[in-house]
Chain A
Amino acid sequence: MQIQINIDDPVPQFAQLIDQIKKAVQGGKLLPGDALPSIRQLANDLGLNNKTVAKAYSLLERDSVIQTKGYRGTYIHPDAKANAAFDLTGWISDEISNSITACRKAGATDSEIRIAFADAMQNQSL
Chain B
Amino acid sequence: MPEFFSMTAVLAIFYVVFSGQIFLLSFYYPKKISSRVEHILMNFPPEVYPKLYPGFRPGHVETEKLKMRIYKAINYSIGIVGVVILAGMLESGYLPAAKGGDEIFVMLYFFLQTTPLLYISWKEHRHYRRMRLTFDEKKRKADLIRRGLFDFISPIYVGVAFLFYFAWLGFYVNHAGPVASWEVENYATVTLITGMNVFYALTIFAFVSGKKLDPYKAPNDQLKHAESIVKVMVFSSIMISIFLSFAQAADQYAFEVFDPVMTSFYMQLCVVFGLGVMMKLQDIDAIDFEVYRVLNKTEAA
Contact = CB atoms under 8 A, between A and B. Distances in A.
Given A38-B209, A40-B210, A41-B209, A47 B144 contact: no
Nearest to B208: A41
Contacts of B108: none
B141 A3 contact: yes
Given A1-B145, A37-B147, A73-B146, A44 B139 contact: no
| Main SS at interface, chain A | mixed
Contacts of B137: 7, 47
A44 B209 contact: yes
A54 interface: no
Given A44-B209, A47-B212, A5 B146 contact: no
B148 to A, nearest CB: 9
A46 B219 CA distance: 11
A107 to B, nearest CB: 51
Residue with the greatest number of chain A CB neighbours at <10 A, chosen from B140, B142, B219 = B142
A36 B142 CA distance: 12
B210 A1 contact: no
B185 interface: no
A4 interface: yes
B215 interface: yes
A41 B145 CA distance: 10
Q: How large is the interface on A (under 10, 10 to 19, 20 to 34, 35 or more residues)?
A: 20 to 34
A42 interface: yes
A60 interface: no
B297 interface: no
Interface string A100-111: 000000000000
Nearest to B222: A45
Contacts of A43: 210
A35 interface: yes
Given A41-B209, A41-B210, A24 B138 contact: no
Given A37-B145, A73-B146, A44 B210 contact: yes
A1 B138 contact: no
A41 B211 CA distance: 8
Given A35-B146, A41-B209, 5 more contacts: A7-B138, A37-B146, A40-B209, A41-B210, A73-B146
Interface of B: 135, 137-147, 208-212, 215, 219, 222
14 contacts: A1-B145, A2-B144, A3-B142, A3-B143, A6-B139, A7-B140, A36-B146, A45-B142, A45-B143, A45-B212, A45-B219, A45-B222, A47-B137, A47-B215
Q: Which 10 A-B residue pairs are closest in the complex by CB-CB distance?
A: A44-B210, A45-B142, A35-B146, A41-B209, A1-B144, A40-B209, A45-B210, A7-B138, A41-B210, A37-B146
